[in-house]
């Protein structure tokens, strides 16, 4: 069964290839074993040697206003994974022209449209994030976190797959000259949001959580909400960029707003939207109490 969602440029293709999986999924029984969260320390030798092996054609440039962020091309990243992705999960998923395989590979090796939208929005709204503690949740290439680094924030990058963090996010962070882990206040984590919450809930809370294209799977709303609830500071703000509706999978901004309403902890407002095709939005989400406190 192949389910496709999204715009032509960034399609979500959920490919549950075996009939057993298909049967289990349809009867709602497919048990996904989510990977546990762990902190990843950059491997300096590997990172620097990977960067040295890059040719100019392998380095792309993400533009938002005046700001230019370098990143490794997806093709190069996918091909490097042959050497590190032991079960070839990501490689097989990418080569079978799927973007995601739930619980195994969650699509971090591409830059999704929401990242461009949110980068442009943040660039306009925030000239500095000095000393703010920022989480780039489901970071993939890490563009939003790198943008926050450029604005002098302390950044935590989180992605599901450790290979994505090691071979893509960290490379991109270093490519932009944030290449000294002693000097720059950043950290990297891989693994599922549920165990990430457990790992981080007793640490200093985030002033800002940035998350782009992470609400396609309705089954993950509970744990996404839990990250928000347990790791955001009292006055913190979440910016979530996503499509209004992910065709074929059911998630989207309206559905997520409904979920937030039911939980009754955060409120949200649409602060930006694009309506000329597959609709996209940015939600600003914050604690209910702040919004009801009189000025
Ligand atoms: C479609 S990609 C978007 C990547 C990036 N934010 C962008 O806009 O280019 C979704 C991201 O969410 C993360 N993700 C999805 N489900 C997750 C889960 N259950 N636990 C941890 N991360 C998850 C994946 O790591 C993946 O990078």
CA of residue 295 to ligand 1 center, whole Å:
36
Mean pLDDT across the chain, nearest whole number? Answer: 87
Q: Which helix (H) or strand (E) holds 170?
A: helix 170-175
pTM reported for the whole predicted model: 0.89
Quick one: which atom of ligand 1 is closest to the CA of 216? 1
Q: Is residue 44 a part of any domain in this protein? A: yes
Distance CA 208, CA 205 (A): 9
Q: Is residue 94 a part of any domain in this protein? A: no
For residue range 70-87, list pLDDT tens digits in order. 999 988 888 877 677 666
Q: Is residue 182 a part of any domain in this protein? A: yes
Which residues surround ligand 1 with Cβ inside 6 Å?
106-108, 111-112, 114-115, 138-141, 159-160, 192-193, 212-214, 220
- Closest residue (by CA) to atom 19 of ligand 1? 192
- Residue 254: DSSP 8-state: H
Backbone angles phi and psi of 106, in degrees to 5: -115, 25
Q: Is residue 273 a part of any domain in this protein? A: yes
Looking only at the bridges linking them, the beta strands covering 206-212 and 232-243 are parallel
Range of the domain at 122: 37-87+102-292
Q: Is residue 15 a part of any domain in this protein? A: no
- Closest residue (by CA) to atom 20 of ligand 1? 192
For residue range 181-214, list pLDDT tens digits in order. 999 989 999 999 999 999 999 999 999 999 999 9
The total of structural domains in the chain comes to 1
CA of residue 107 to ligand 1 center, whole Å:
6
Please list, in sequence order, all residues whose beta carbon lies within 8 angstroms of the beta carbon of residue 180, skipping any fewer than 6 positions away.
Answer: none
CA of residue 293 to ligand 1 center, whole Å:
33
The pLDDT of residue 11 is above 50: no
Mutation pick for ligand 1 pocket among 140, 217, 221 (CB with most ligand atoms within 8 Å): 140
Task: Supply the CATH number for residue 42's domain.
Answer: 3.40.50.150
For residue range 205-237, list pLDDT tens digits in order. 999 999 999 999 999 999 999 999 999 999 999
Instruction: Return the ∠ at Cα 71 (arms to 168 and 232), rounded to 5°.
Output: 65
The pLDDT of residue 285 is above 90: yes
pLDDT at 291: 52
Quick one: which atom of ligand 1 is closest to the CA of 115? 8
Q: Is residue 80 a part of any domain in this protein? A: yes
Integer-rounded Cα Rg, in Å, for the chain is 18
- Closest residue (by CA) to atom 10 of ligand 1? 214
């Amino acid at each position: 069964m192949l389910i496709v969602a999204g715009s032509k440029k960034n399609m979500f293709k959920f490919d549950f290839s075996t009939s057993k999986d298909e049967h289990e999924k349809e009867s709602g029984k497919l048990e996904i074993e989510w990977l546990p969260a762990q902190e990843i320390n950059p491997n300096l030798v590997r990172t620097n040697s990977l960067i040295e092996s890059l040719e100019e054609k392998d380095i792309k440039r993400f533009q938002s206003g005046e700001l230019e962020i370098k990143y490794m091309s997806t093709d190069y990243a996918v091909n490097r994974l042959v050497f590190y992705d032991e079960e070839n999960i990501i490689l097989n998923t990418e080569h079978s022209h799927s973007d995601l395989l739930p619980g195994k590979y969650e699509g971090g090796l591409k830059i999704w449209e929401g990242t461009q939208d949110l980068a442009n929005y943040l660039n306009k709204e925030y000239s500095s994030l000095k000393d703010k503690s920022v989480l780039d949740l489901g970071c993939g290439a890490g563009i939003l976190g790198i943008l926050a680094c450029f604005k002098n924030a302390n950044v935590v990058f989180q992605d599901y797959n450790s290979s994505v963090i090691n071979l893509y996010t960290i490379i991109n962070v270093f490519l932009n000259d944030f290449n000294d882990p002693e000097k720059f206040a950043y950290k990297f984590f891989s693994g599922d949001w549920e165990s990430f919450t457990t790992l981080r809930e007793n640490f200093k809370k985030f002033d800002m959580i940035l998350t782009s294209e992470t609400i396609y799977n309705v089954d993950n709303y509970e744990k996404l909400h839990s990250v928000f609830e347990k790791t955001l500071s009292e006055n913190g703000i979440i910016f979530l960029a996503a499509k209004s509706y992910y065709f074929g999978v059911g998630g989207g901004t309206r559905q997520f707003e409904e979920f937030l309403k039911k939980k009754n902890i955060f409120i949200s407002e649409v602060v930006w939207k694009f309506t000329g095709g597959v609709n996209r939005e940015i939600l600003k989400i914050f604690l209910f109490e702040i919004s009801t406190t009189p000025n």
